[in-house]
Amino acid sequence: MTDNSYRLLVVDIDGTLVNRHGTISDEDREAMFRVRQAGVQVALSTGRGLQATMNIINELSLDSYHISFDGALVSHPSNREEIYVSPIAKELVRQMIDVAHRCRVDLELFTVTHYFVERETWSTEAHRDFFGVNSTMVDLREIWQRERILKGGVVPTSPEEKARAADFCSQLDHRLHLSRARTPAYPGVDFFNILAPGVSKGKALEKLAAHLKIPLRETIAVGDGTNDVSLLKTAGLAIAMGNAADEVKAIADYVTLDVDHSGLAAAMKVFL
């Protein structure tokens, strides 16, 4: 360990910790263990819902606070403590459903415990097979009033679906926060996250650091996607993966190797 001034490490999952095979390399797994042994707290930060994050949390035995839903929730899953949550207002959820139906878009709605859809799609299969999350099929118009929705999702795969998704997003852009996430397992597929206004991974990091009483200058963030930009801008040290988007690399303090070459572990050798 070369620098004891950092006390919190925040790590994106897909494209940073988890590679295109859906696995964590032995080098990255060992690096996460060594960082924690050195007394640095580790938090995951992901656009995934909490359900889709639990397998990684359990695999790495990370009994701590984590950021999920692209920043809409900061929680301690083992005891269900929520230190920050920003759900989408119910009226906005209703509007989102109406726009999705008009645009013929397959909208997905996420709560802490459920993944709601109206029909089987490529995305429901990917969530089941890759993320380990089963969908609950409902008429979304029947649940918006009773459920606390933390994130909406749209995952277009064909040119026609992408055109309809663009129309859908353009109608909501001024009312909600839209972000885009990717995973190396499905190159070229955009996972559009729809969030309450003001939600971001960066704001979530501010809430987490304040709760832990750790100054932001003593935090490190590692990411690869455009939805990680606010996270990296907020952290004391910003590390971009070698496979990161150019705009992510542009704001990083350091660019490490790509995820398939254990860039996370390589960066930890330099800074922790």
pLDDT in tens, 159-210: 999 999 999 999 998 899 999 898 998 988 999 999 999 999 999 999 999 9
What is the predicted pLDDT for the residue at 157? 95
Band (pLDDT 50/70/90 cuts) for residue 2 is very low
Predicted TM-score (pTM) above 0.85: yes
Burial string for 2-14 (b: 16+ CB within 10 Å, else e) reads: eeeebbbbbbbbb
Is the per-residue pLDDT at 41 higher than 50? yes
The residue that leads in pLDDT, 9 or 4, is: 9
Average pLDDT over residues 242-260: 97
What is the predicted pLDDT for the residue at 173? 82
On average, the pLDDT of the chain sits at: 95
What is the predicted pLDDT for the residue at 1? 39
DSSP the chain: ---TT--EEEEESBTTTB-TTS---HHHHHHHHHHHHTT-EEEEE-SS-HHHHHHHHHHTT--S-EEEGGGTEEEETTTTEEEEE-PPPHHHHHHHHHHHHHHT---EEE-SS-EEESS--HHHHHHHHTS----EE--GGGTTTTS---EEEE---SHHHHHHHHHHHHHHTTTSEEEEE--TTSTT--EEEEE-TT--HHHHHHHHHHHHT--GGGEEEEE-SGGGHHHHHHSSEEEE-TTS-HHHHHH-SEE---GGGTHHHHHHHHH-
Q: Which residues pair with 145 in a beta bridge?
A: none
Half-sphere exposure of 144 (CA within 13 A, CB side): 19
Average pLDDT over residues 211-235: 97
Could you tell me the domains of the chain?
8-85+199-271 (3.40.50.1000), 90-195 (3.30.1240.10)
pLDDT tens string 60-91: 999 999 999 999 999 999 999 999 999 999 99
